[in-house]
Amino acid sequence: MNKSPLMQRDGTKKLIASLLSILIGLFFGSILVLIVGLTTSNIGAKGAWDGIRLIFIGLFSKSRDASGNLVFGMNTTNIGNMLFRATPLIMTGLSVAVSQKTGLFNIGAPGQYLMGTMASLMISLSIPSSSVPPFVIWLLAFLGGCLAGAIWGAIPGILKAFLNINEVIACIMTNWISANLVTWFFDIAKFSTMTGSFYCQTKWKIADGSFKNMVENTKSGYVYKTSWNNVATPKLGLDKLFPDSQVNAGILIAIVIAIVIYIIINKTTFGFQLKACGSNRHAARYAGIKDRANIIYSMSIAGALSAAGASLYYLSGNTEFSWNTYQSLPAIGFNGIPVALLAVNNPIGVIFSGTFMAMLNIIGTQLTKFTAYNEYITDVIIAVIVYLSAFSLVIRSLIAGRKKNTSVANDANADKTPAKPEDTGKSGADAEQEAAPPTDAGTEKGGAQA
């Protein structure tokens, strides 16, 4: 396996398949932009050309010059913001990837993300920073968020493990339950009920002790920023590197978590057990692995990771949460699915695919800013990529299978050439049949190693 040339390695094929689906997605987006541009009177060919350029290199767009042409170049603000937005995407991507390793499709990431948001915000806002150091509050809020997500993720896990309920359906239900729960709690919860009356004595007195931002009129419908309570993720000098951007240490934490997950999945017994349950639950049980426990662990970890993404995003101190979520689910949760798919569930790959998705996000805002198009074109691109990755697995195994099949069959034929001439036709067919099972085993092995 290790001696095979670079182009035929499993990882290379996966990378090529992912890059190919990205390219097709971008081209599809460009075609849509072109068609819309040419058929809409106020955009025209020049506007469409601007749109297409932004889709591909929008990260490096800076402004429009005096004559109305787009100016491209190094844009550290964009890159910083990209890293900031990549943080939650990497985490939800990891969440989906970890559950996929155990053969579970975690479409519940949005719900786990919301639960993490709620727990983190409530903890970080209700512990007064005048009496507890902000760093401790940050840590408590982060861990509390992870715990909330883990509990929420465990519910579909338990239903799957003990009652064999399809985790996709259970996750969809828990998603909408959490969307309503979160709105409900933010609607009625008060600081005073959670921490007692002493809270009103802290330096930022809030009207009625509610989490809802009543102070700034323009922010109705939002929860207070955590920076109101002096809680914010440290910048660690990244803001000097990328001036005027929202970047903070969250991205570093996300990368570290991704590496830790990689080690757990690939280098520990626990990770092996998770993967064994994913490959064949019954075989795993026969081998003495507690399959039920592993399914629940996997979903809990997935939930904790999604929630950690939410914590990192909202504890940054400069993001606001719109609490009226009961009619929609956060897109970041769903976008964990394409992130994981693009990375073929590899935790290290998730870092890059998450960053790529964040780049698309930035491109969307640039499109809205500089052209008559809007940010939803990047959602179209993402959807196309997800659609392609639905069958990229199939296509990849087809390519891999055919290549190996022919090579093995040729070898077999070569071995049998000294045999009697009248037998060759038959033996060739036999050899091909014989070659089939090893091919399957090979692809399965490749899949398990992934």
Partner 1 sequence: MTFLIQQTLLFAIPLMIVALAGVFSERSGIINLALEGIMIMGAFIGVLSVRLLQSVPAFQEAAQQLAQFNAGKTESASGWLTLQGMEILCMLIAAAAGAIFSLLLSYASINLKADQTIGGTALNLLAPAISLFLIRIIVNQNTMGMEGGAGGASWFLIRKTFFGYSAGESAGFLGNTFLDKTYLATYLTIILFVVMSILLYKTRFGLRIRSCGENPQAAASLGISVYKMRYAGVTISGALAGMGGFVYALTTQGCTTNGDVAGFGFLALAVMIFGNWKPLNIALGALLFGLFKCIAASYSTLDINGDGRFLLTEIGVSSYVYRLLPYVITLIVLALTSKSSRAPKAEGIPYDKGMR
Binding site for partner 1 (CB under 8 A): 32, 36, 40, 105, 107, 159, 163-165, 168-170, 172-177, 179-181, 183-184, 187-188, 326-329, 334, 337-338, 341, 372-374, 376-377, 379-380, 382-384, 386-387, 389-391, 393-395
Nearest alpha-carbon partner for 156 in 281, 328, 298: 298
Rounded to a whole number of angstroms, the minimum distance from the CB of residue 364 to partner 1 is: 10
Shortest Å, Cβ 440 to partner 1: 13
Closest CB to partner 1 among residues 336, 446: 336
User: Would you say 72 or 176 has its CB closer to partner 1?
Assistant: 176
The distance of closest approach from Cβ of residue 391 to partner 1 in the complex, given in angstroms and rounded to an integer, is: 4
Q: How many other C-beta atoms can be found within 10 angstroms of the C-beta atom of residue 249?
A: 16
- CA 284, 289, 295, 298 torsion: positive or negative? negative
CA atoms 394, 395, 396, 400: torsion sign: positive
d(CA 34, CA 32): 5
Closest separation in Å from C-beta 90 to partner 1: 19
- Report the C-alpha dihedral over residues 135, 137, 141, 143, rounded to 10 degrees: 60
Taking a C-beta distance cutoff of 8 angstroms, is the pair 281, 116 a contact? no
Of 23 and 169, which has the nearer Cβ to partner 1? 169
Nearer to partner 1 by C-beta: 204 or 391?
391
Residue number with CB closer to partner 1 (125 or 329): 329
In the complex, the smallest distance separating the C-beta of residue 32 from partner 1, rounded to whole angstroms, is 8
CB of 47 to partner 1, least distance (A): 11
Q: DSSP for 87-102?
A: HHHHHHHHHHHHHHHT
Min dist. Cβ of residue 365 to partner 1 (A): 14
- Please name the amino acid found at residue 235: K
Look at residue 222 and give its three-state secondary structure. strand
Q: What is the spatial distance between Cα 296 and Cα 150, in angstroms, rounded to a whole number?
A: 10
Q: Which is nearer to partner 1, 172 or 412 (by Cβ)? A: 172
The distance in angstroms from the start CA to the end CA of the chain is 13
Compare residues 124 and 178 and give the one whose CB is closer to partner 1: 178
Q: Strands of 223-337 (E only): list them.
A: none
